[in-house]
Structure 1
Amino acid sequence: MPLALITGASSGLGAEFAHQLAARRADLVLVARSSRDLESLAEEIRERYGVAVEVLVADLVAEDGVKSVAARLADTAQPIDLLINNAGFGLPLRFADNDIEDEVRHLRIHIEAPMRLMHAALGSMRGRGGRIINVASVAAFIPRSTYAACKNWLVGFSEWANAEYSRDGVSITALCPGFTHTNFHERMGLAPGEEGIASWMWLDARAVVRDGLRDAARGKALSVPSWRYKLIVAATRVLPSSLVSRAGRRGRM
């Protein structure tokens, strides 16, 4: 059976990835900060799908946490076939008003951690084959403070790495959903409907994960679920940057 490692696996898109992959008979390594939430999800998946589930508790903001996950990715005795870099959190858009230490932690989990985990995964995947999915965002194409800047880096690096390492049998896909129904916004202290975004803009987590897995299987460097967001991304490439920046001020994520 293939073996997938998912960061940020205890809730949201991470948990949805775990369910969909287990339904396809993949064994899992689940990574998150909360031991209780991880163990609960692991037990549920074992009982429902009958697959093997390993739990790895790690805080990817901390250096020790990243090192422990990187070591698991580098283990050739039980090699990882699919890495999903999903861990992350959001901050308010007002950079100058945010605590700078929060911004540094935000940078670490959205850029440093995926970069280091990709490096570890590539070491064991090159020549053998494998896939990496980096969960980015449509925000990568729309200026929205440091969150968008981090996701823009992740998209650009994924596109380059996909072209560079496809010759070694490894595909790297940046998954760029728009606003998606998960607990991401609740963790920022926002109640449902408080984001100021029209209902038609919201995506279903199951569809986002399904599309991301499909595009990764096809070796695509970029996956943008939903025609609505495909049109938005296309528009950002031709509209004046000042107009795109103004559009990015909508919502509170």
Structure 2
Amino acid sequence: MTTALITGATAGIGAAFARRLARDGHDVVLVARDKDRLRARAAELHDQHGIEASVLVADLATDMGISAVETRLQDADNPVDLLINNAGFGNKGAFLDVPMADELTMLKVHCEAVLRLTSAATTSMRARHRGGVVNVASVAAFVPRGTYGASKAWVVQFTQGAAKDLAGSGLRLLALCPGFVRTEFHERAGMDAGNVPGWMWLDADKVVDAAMKDLARGKTLSVPDPRYKALMGATHLIPRNLLSRASSTTGRRYGPR
């Protein structure tokens, strides 16, 4: 039986990945900061699907937390076959309104943790000639959206570059770029998403289903839902100054996730 490790696994897209993978018969390692929520989620998945669900309490905004997950990914006796780098958050406020410490924490979680965990996972996977990594980014990667969008743009470029470098190794890497998803993301950041049109909201389970299909097809980029595919295609036609103004009303205050 294969094992998947999911960061940010207690809610939202991470929880949806955990449900999908457990339903498909994968053992799971759930990573997050909240021990109680992790244990409850693990027990639920075990009871519903009969798989092994273990928990790893780790804060990916710290070196200690990242190192703990790296160690688990490097465990040759209990290999991880699929890594889902989902942990992330948004900061409320425009550039210069957000404290620098919070900006740096975002880069730690969105960029450094993704880099280090992807490296740890793929090093082990390449030795076995199989495995996969899904790095959760955002459609914010493709429009001007301050530090959040810039960090997600890095995730996309890094993932696709690493996929190219690892071509022929038996590994698959995918950057997942959802739009607005109904999760705890905005509430946790204290963000008001009330001005987002209803048609722009996606279901987390459907986002995960699309990602898993694209991973199986060997794609390196997944933009779930035809509506967002059309919007992302339009970004190449719309002047960047107009994108920037639109972003200021729906992006810098909160990023799609």
TM-score bracket for this pair, using the shorter chain length: over 0.9
CA contact (8 A) 2:92 2:190 kept: no
2:201: which partner in 1?
Answer: 202
1:83 aligns with 2:83: yes
1:117: which partner in 2?
Answer: 117
Structure-1 separation of matches of 2:180 and 2:96: 24
2:202 alignment partner, SS class: coil
1:47-196 equivalent positions in 2, closer than 5 A: 47-128=47-128, 129-190=130-191, 194-196=193-195
The two structures, once aligned, show a CA RMSD in angstroms of: 1.0
Structure-1 separation of matches of 2:163 and 2:38: 30
Structure-2 separation of matches of 1:97 and 1:62: 23
Structure-2 separation of matches of 1:41 and 1:213: 21
Letter in 1 for 2:184: N
Normalised TM-score (structure 1): 0.97
- The offset of 1:239, in angstroms, is 2.2
Q: How much identity, in percent, do the aligned residues show?
A: 49
Structure-1 separation of matches of 2:110 and 2:240: 24
Structure-2 separation of matches of 1:195 and 1:136: 22
Q: Could you list the structure 1 runs, at least 4 aligned residues long, displaced by more than 2 angstroms after superposition.
A: none
- The offset of 1:143, in angstroms, is 0.8
1:10-49 equivalent positions in 2, closer than 5 A: 10-49=10-49
Unaligned residue ranges in structure 1 (runs of 5+) = none
Letter in 2 for 1:249: S
The Cα offsets for residues 122-146 of structure 1, whole Å up to 9 and x where unpaired, read as: 1101142110000000000011110
The Cα offsets for residues 27-53 of structure 1, whole Å up to 9 and x where unpaired, read as: 000000010000000001110000001
The Cα offsets for residues 169-196 of structure 1, whole Å up to 9 and x where unpaired, read as: 11110000000111111101135xx441
Unaligned residue ranges in structure 2 (runs of 5+) = none
Structure-1 separation of matches of 2:42 and 2:141: 32
Structure-2 separation of matches of 1:5 and 1:204: 21
Corresponding residue pairs, total: 251
